[in-house]
Amino acid sequence: MRRLIFAAWLCAIVMGLPAEALREGGQAPAPPPPPPRVPAEASREGGPMPAVLRAYAAVDADRLAHPADGDWLMVRRTYDGWGYSPLDRITPANVARLQPVWSFSTGVTNGHEAPPIVNNGVMFVATPGNQVIAINAKTGAILWRYKRPLPEDVVLLHATSRGVGLYRDKVYFAAGEAVLVALNARTGEEVWTTKVAENKAGYYMSVAPLVADGKVIVGASGGEMGIRGFVAAFDADSGKEVWRTYTVPAPGEPGSETWPNGDQWKTGGGPVWVTGTYDPETRLTFWGTGNGGPWMGDQRPGDNLYTSSTIALDVATGAMKGHFQYHPNDSWDWDEVSPPILVDYQRNGRTIKGLIDLARDGYMWFLERTSGPINFVEGRPYVKQNVFMSLDPKTGRPNVDPARQPGTGREAEFCPSHWGGKNWPPVAFSPKTRMVYVPANENLCTAMIGRPVTYTAGRGFTGMTNNLMIAPGADHIGEVQAWNVDTGARVWTHPFAGSTNWGPILTTGGGLVFSGGTQDRLFRAFDAATGDVLWEFPTNSGIIGQPSSFSIDGKQYIAVQSGWGIDSRTMQARLNRVRPGDFPEVPEGGAIWVFAIK
């Protein structure tokens, strides 16, 4: 048995058996000894099922499409990807009184990127180390803990999880070794597991599953190792695969003409590791795709569709109905995995059913969504960008400065850096302010040079060396930016003089923006209209987790994981080489924090 059942109390009661009897086949590590009897919810085991779980509210399609204000049922709360909670009890007037209500140590280090997902008072948090914890959101009492042992030789280059998905009475978790897991929401027991892809070939997962149309939809990472990216959907009840659409076409498929060179499509990259958005009206789901493999464009001639793109897939069949490639033939590691958010915006007196993406390539893209094709509307840099000389006004295709495109044996310097103007941390949009809030890194550039590389399954296939640089004269790096989507104008910028910014963003109906992301471990509240910092709190570690907001009994809470690691740590170490002492190590170790007005 590969699962560890910590919610043994339930099974033991239901089955009338001691916890040891739950082991099958004798392969599992011995379960922990029975805990002392303690009041319900004070322990993760023992005692009757806590009331909050007995009352667990199954999630249906309607609740996913129209969540109650107090719930946070999916990674960005709603299908449009806004990261917006309509709750408005916490406001610029009272946020100074925000205080911790409870915190909870996850027991693991490394980057904690998942949001606390909350359904009717039950919180589900995914952490590094293949762990999902269920907690009473009001009290902080643990309900159950699921931990799936990672294989000793797992290939897992970004050891994190970006969250769980909910449907009916199940919790869906993408395990690092590329296995999709369905858990019983009340007990934390595995209901089914499905192997999504071959981990030994370099496929691994960190994505939060998207639940739509009765399916659980995921993609896989591994672009550094020459995988062929895909988005795949599984039946939510059975775990059976329903469809799989590759982000790199096979010969004969549309787009295959952009891979003229033999079998390169087989190792062409285009990984998918950030949850897509979904438009229930057109039943299209939008996913961002990573860069091509190997990393140097001159080693894989052609535009290399559908790498560094957004693709629109029919949720029922997976058929690709539209795409927009941000930049063809990527050579900068600009993995465009953030999906566009769905926002209808004004342009020239017209309302456009829109898509907006703040891309790793340093451009803010305004697009139009239809029942199929994705149309270009406009693009503009939001950070220093010296690679695109112009965009084709009709198609948006960038005109690339060849001196800024690295190649095999040919070094080039370019800005933004290979981590991008913004990496994976998601933007947020407030329908009240009409602003999109962006966690950006300004003033970073990269020098990169390519080298020949041969493919071996599950091994590095980047074929490059790079150096991170700070732009001359830079007075800051990290930023939170606010842009009005109707005018396309920047409204405010909050610079972080001494830090990068790796903080996902939450915005609320109360007129606030919440985010961490900096090396000083602070979690902050900004005035959504002006960018003024109204509150800040130093947590245990740096915050790269996605904040969420929920309410119980009419009280609004703000929740976030603090736990620095993965790319934020790598960038920190690189910068400390450039300016020794300015970018010290950030304390590590994960914790969940929940705040409210006292």
105 binds another protein (CB under 8 A): no
Task: Please identify which of the residues 80, 314, 330, 333 carries the catalytic annotation.
Answer: 333
Residues whose CB falls within 8 Å of the CB of residue 428, separated by 6 or more in sequence, listed in order: 82, 83, 84, 436, 437, 505, 506, 507, 513
Minimum CB–partner distance for residue 472 and another protein (Å): 22
Q: CA–CA separation, 29 vs 434, rounded Å?
A: 53
Residue 250 or 573: the one with the smaller Cβ distance to another protein is 573
Strands 142-147 and 165-167: unpaired
Beta bridge partners of 368: 354, 375
HSE value, Cβ hemisphere, 13 Å, CA-based, for 8: 19
Q: What Rg, from alpha-carbon coordinates, does the chain have?
A: 23
156 binds another protein (CB under 8 A): yes
Residue 83 or 565: the one with the smaller Cβ distance to another protein is 565
Cα 296 versus chain centre, distance: 25
Minimum CB–partner distance for residue 291 and another protein (Å): 14
- Of 154, 191, 316, 447, the residue at the interface with another protein (CB under 8 A) is 154
Torsion of CA 577, 155, 149, 178, to 10 degrees: 120
Minimum CB–partner distance for residue 530 and another protein (Å): 37
Answer yes or no: are the C-beta atoms of 306 and 275 closer than 8 Å. Answer: no
Minimum CB–partner distance for residue 309 and another protein (Å): 24
DSSP line for 200-262: GGT-B--PPPEEETTEEEEE-B-GGGT-B-EEEEEETTT--EEEEEESSPPTTSTTGGG--ST
Binding mask 61-100 toward another protein (x if CB under 8 A, else -) reads ----------------------------------------
423 binds another protein (CB under 8 A): no
159 binds another protein (CB under 8 A): yes
Q: CA–CA separation, 400 vs 328, rounded Å?
A: 10
Binding segment (CB under 8 A) for another protein, from list 155-163, 350-358, 485-493, 553-561: 155-163
Structure token pair of residue 467: 């150096």
130 binds another protein (CB under 8 A): yes
Residue 462 or 551: the one with the smaller Cβ distance to another protein is 462
Answer yes or no: are the C-beta atoms of 558 and 570 closer than 8 Å. Answer: no
Residue 370: DSSP 8-state: -
Q: Is omega for the bond preceding 416 within 30 degrees of 0, making it cis?
A: yes
152 binds another protein (CB under 8 A): yes
Cα three-residue angle 322-327-330, rounded to 5 degrees: 120
Torsion of CA 381, 386, 389, 395, to 10 degrees: -40
153 binds another protein (CB under 8 A): yes
Q: Site residues for another protein, window 390-409 (CB under 8 A)?
A: none
302 binds another protein (CB under 8 A): no
475 is a catalytic site residue? no
Residue 76 or 574: the one with the smaller Cβ distance to another protein is 574
Q: Site residues for another protein, window 518-577 (CB under 8 A)?
A: 569-570, 573-574, 577
Q: Site residues for another protein, window 172-211 (CB under 8 A)?
A: 176
Q: CA–CA separation, 48 vs 518, rounded Å?
A: 42
Beta bridge partners of 525: 514, 535
Q: How many residues bind another protein (CB under 8 A)?
A: 33
Q: Site residues for another protein, window 443-502 (CB under 8 A)?
A: 451, 458-460, 462-466
Residue 130 or 187: the one with the smaller Cβ distance to another protein is 130
Binding segment (CB under 8 A) for another protein, from list 106-114, 311-319, 437-445, 530-538: 106-114
Minimum CB–partner distance for residue 477 and another protein (Å): 18
Residue 309 or 446: the one with the smaller Cβ distance to another protein is 446
Residue 151 or 402: the one with the smaller Cβ distance to another protein is 151
Binding mask 205-244 toward another protein (x if CB under 8 A, else -) reads -------------------x--------------------
Give per-residue burial for 512-536: e unless 16+ CB within 10 Å, then b. Answer: bbbbbbbbebbbbbbbbbebeebbe
Closest CA to 357 of 404, 333, 325, 398: 325
Residue 487 or 570: the one with the smaller Cβ distance to another protein is 570
Residue 220 or 534: the one with the smaller Cβ distance to another protein is 220
Structure token pair of residue 408: 């095999």
Answer yes or no: are the C-beta atoms of 389 and 400 closer than 8 Å. Answer: yes
- Of 155, 201, 337, 480, the residue at the interface with another protein (CB under 8 A) is 155
Minimum CB–partner distance for residue 545 and another protein (Å): 14
163 binds another protein (CB under 8 A): no
Minimum CB–partner distance for residue 150 and another protein (Å): 5
Answer yes or no: are the C-beta atoms of 361 and 420 closer than 8 Å. Answer: yes
Binding mask 320-349 toward another protein (x if CB under 8 A, else -) reads ------------------------------
Q: Catalytic site residues? A: 333
**Which positions lie near another protein, rule CB under 8 A?**
108-110, 127-130, 150, 152-160, 176, 224, 451, 458-460, 462-466, 569-570, 573-574, 577
